[in-house]
Amino acid sequence: MPSLLKDPLLHFVVLGGALFAVSYWQGDTGEAGPEPIFISAEQVEQLRQSALLFNGREPSREELAALVEPAIRDEVMYREALALGLDVNDDEVRTRLIEKMRYLTEDLADPEPASDEELRVFFDADPARFLIPALVTFDQLYFSPSERGDALRADVDAALEELAGGADPESFGDRTPLRFQMDDAPGEQVQVLFGAALTDAVFTMQSGEWAGPFESDFGLHLVRVVSRSEARQPAFDEVRDAVLARYAEDQRNRANDANYAEIRARYAIVVDWPADAAEESP
């Protein structure tokens, strides 16, 4: 019996049991507590510097603690929200996470530099992608319905008559964020800004003459075409920079697709197609 009392293993078992009993009576279930909230020295220093710039003096420890507290509060509320499952089935949270994942996984690497030979092959495969559209340069005068009220149409007609007689265009029109002269504008841009009627007019009317009025979402416009060019297919050397940019974009898209395919392959995907869905696309 005395030898048994001297056994180190017995001492270890007794000590372990005592520690377990103390832990039990103190209510310690052995479960790990939540992960600590850590506010880094860099975060604190940024807050300190901001306070210094704003107040012109060093913040006290109490003032600095007050600045740190909102960050702690946000993290506490965030973790409690996760604990309550508030992120589950929340479309807004889901969208933000998808956006962040795309940011983390797409466009991670710049494409390899391309040789002129590779760029020429890329260009020749589909030169229509680099077609230069028809372009038009024209002047426009804007007349505001809100400022002119019932006199709007009469003012426009009077201005058009005077412009035809050689009057200075700067004497007419109202303030607008739209430029007086649109330089080498493609049809799509003109239509977005001024509508279909004005777009058709500037690509068909004679140059040098004021015409209108044409209605847009802003009001009425008088226009004068300065110059116009037809759509044309440029040579490679003329658009090399555009080809390089499109080639790099194409390479990034290919890399993004390959990366997504690799991630997608990790998941078992089951689609519950409706019974009347066609097995093959037409």
Model confidence over 225-274: pLDDT tens digits? 999 999 999 999 999 999 999 999 898 888 888 888 888 888 787 777 77
Confidence tier at 78 by pLDDT (50, 70, 90) = confident
CATH 3.10.50.40 fits 133-229, yes or no: yes
Confidence tier at 15 by pLDDT (50, 70, 90) = very low
Model confidence over 89-122: pLDDT tens digits? 788 888 888 888 888 877 766 677 888 999 999 9
**Quick one: CA dihedral 275, 279, 280, 282, positive or negative?**
negative
Per domain, the residue ranges of the chain are 41-90, 133-229
> Is the confidence at residue 8, as pLDDT, over 50?
no
* More confident: 275 or 132: 132
> Is the confidence at residue 159, as pLDDT, over 90?
yes
Tokens 């956006």 — which residue? 99
Judge whether 242 and 128 are in contact, CB under 8 Å.
Answer: no
What DSSP designation does 210 have? E
> Is the confidence at residue 16, as pLDDT, over 70?
no
With a pLDDT cut of 90, the percent of the chain lying above it is: 40
Query: Which pLDDT does position 201 carry in this prediction?
Result: 93
> Is the confidence at residue 65, as pLDDT, over 70?
yes
- The DSSP annotation for 143-192 comes to E-HHHHGGGHHHHHHHHHHHHHTT--GGGS----SS-SEEEEEEHHHHHH
> Is the confidence at residue 13, as pLDDT, over 80?
no
Q: What is the overall mean pLDDT for the chain?
A: 82
Least confident of 18-27, 143-152, 201-210, 238-247: 18-27
Query: Which pLDDT does position 259 carry in this prediction?
Result: 84
Query: Which pLDDT does position 24 carry in this prediction?
Result: 42
Judge whether 17 and 46 are in contact, CB under 8 Å.
Answer: no
Tokens 């103390």 — which residue? 22
All residues at 6 or more sequence positions from 225 whose CB lies less than 8 Å from its CB, including other chains: 136, 137, 138, 202, 205, 206, 207, 208, 209
Question: What is the token pair recorded at 206?
Answer: 């004679």
In whole angstroms, give the CA distance from residue 127 to residue 129.
Answer: 5
